[in-house]
Amino acid sequence: MSRFLSLIRKNFVAFIIFFLLVPTAGFSVQGPAEGEEAFDASQFIIHHVLDDHVWHLWDHGGTIYLPVIVYSAEKGLDIFSSRNFYDDHHNIVEHNGYTLEHNHIYLSGSHKAVLDLSITKNVAMLFINAAFLLVVFLAVAKGYEKNKGKSPSGIQSFFEPIILFIRDEIVKPNIGPRYEKFLPYMLTLFFFILFGNLLGLLPGAGNLTGNIAVTVTLAVLTFIITNFSGNKSYWSHVFWTPGVPLPLRLIILPVEIVGLFTKPISLTIRLFVAITAGHIVLLSLICLAFIFKSVWVGTGSTVMVLFISLIELLVAGIQAYVFVLFSSLYIGMAITEDEHH
């Protein structure tokens, strides 16, 4: 692992150039053959941004058919491959009493929705992201044990400054003296979002952190931790703000209650919009070459993709930083003791 990191450091510029070129290399878009429909840029973009039961990496054999797990009162639990929803020409067909429409599974005939627990593209990306986190930070933990009392080395030396930055510049100042209780959650939150953002820039990858279900879940976790950790002073400010005349309290109360829910909503929307918008911009620029069918437009769009990809690398880190910053701030506000009398 230390040799790997040393190689990256020695070839840092080449590594960055490769990472920037990778998004343009992974998308295969062919012009329409005779008799076929023209290239649909919006369908191409939506296909790559939204979740799917099929993971398409490249044309001609690069499709992974993911497991479908559905439950309905009529048919019970069913598990099968999503390959069964497609014929040899990749047209959608019914299977075993189920139909797939706009990436939603229904009972055939009745068009009744079922409980869909399938391993979709984003769920698979979630598992990959979690596995990547485990591999990296088990190696970091092993480095701490190996280098106890010594200078950090290898992968530990790469991640230790980031961990210390999160602790000393984000979590500790905003949460206060009791920050250690919440530090493991904040570190997990930061690196989960960061790795998810970076992995999502790779060709063919799922849009994990640009999926609103994922961002909602992360925001709800912060919401639960914040409100379950809230002390008496926090709740008294919500329901009975001290030092405020009674008529104003009647106005402030609904505002405070609404404020409890606007915090997780802001966390959700900020991450979801930033990541999804970045992917849409990149894909739109890539599509320009196929819309205009011009070498000059293709060259210009490639240059723009490289520039936007560099910005997306920054956005990946900034969004992880902002999410943890506001989560720490919300928790800090909930556990801080009231100082006024």
**Two tokens, residue 190:** 């930061």
Q: Which residues pair with 104 in a beta bridge?
A: 101
**Rounded to whole angstroms, how far apart are CA atoms 28 and 248?**
61
State the greatest distance between any 2 C-alpha atoms of the chain, in Å, as a whole number: 80
Backbone angles phi, psi at 116, to 5 degrees: -100, 110
Mean pLDDT of all residues in 233-241: 84
**Rounded to whole angstroms, how far apart are CA atoms 193 and 209?**
7
Q: What sign does the CA torsion over 206, 208, 212, 217 have?
A: positive
pLDDT > 70: what percent of the chain?
88
pLDDT > 90: what percent of the chain?
49
User: Could you list the residue range(s) of the whole structural domain that residue 299 is in?
Assistant: 121-335
Torsion, Cα 53 103 37 288, to 10 degrees, reads -80
pLDDT exceeds cutoff 50 at 341: no
pLDDT top residue among 177 and 61: 177
pLDDT reported for residue 13 = 46
pLDDT reported for residue 6 = 53
DSSP 244: S
- Backbone angle region of 84, left / alpha / beta, with phi > 0 → left and psi within -120 to 50 → alpha: alpha
Is 68 a member of any domain?
no
**Rounded to whole angstroms, how far apart are CA atoms 237 and 252?**
10
- Would you give the distance in Å from CA 179 to the centre of its chain? 25
pLDDT exceeds cutoff 80 at 32: no
pLDDT reported for residue 127 = 96
pLDDT exceeds cutoff 70 at 9: no
Q: Which residues pair with 63 in a beta bridge?
A: 56
Range among 141-145, 277-281, 292-296 with highest mean pLDDT value: 277-281
Give CA angle at 257 (256, 263), nearest 5°.
Answer: 85
Q: pLDDT, tens digit, for every residue of 43-64?
A: 888 888 889 999 988 777 788 9
Is 129 a member of any domain?
yes
Is 46 a member of any domain?
no
pLDDT reported for residue 37 = 60
Q: pLDDT, tens digit, for every residue of 83-120?
A: 999 888 888 889 888 998 888 899 988 878 899 999 99
pTM (predicted TM-score): 0.84
User: Contact 194/163 with Cβ under 8 angstroms?
Assistant: no
Is 218 a member of any domain?
yes
Is 238 a member of any domain?
yes
Using DSSP's 3-state secondary structure scheme, residue 7 falls into: helix
Give how many domains the chain has, as a whole number: 1
Is 148 a member of any domain?
yes
Of 137, 196, 233, whose CA–CA distance to 316 is shortest? 196
Is 81 a member of any domain?
no
State the chain's mean pLDDT as an integer. 85
pLDDT reported for residue 46 = 83
**Two tokens, residue 68:** 């479908």
Of 148, 68, 144, whose CA–CA distance to 100 is shortest? 68
Is 44 a member of any domain?
no
- How many CB atoms are closer than 10 A to CB 55? 20
Q: pLDDT, tens digit, for every residue of 185-231?
A: 999 999 999 999 999 998 888 899 999 999 999 999 999 999 999 98
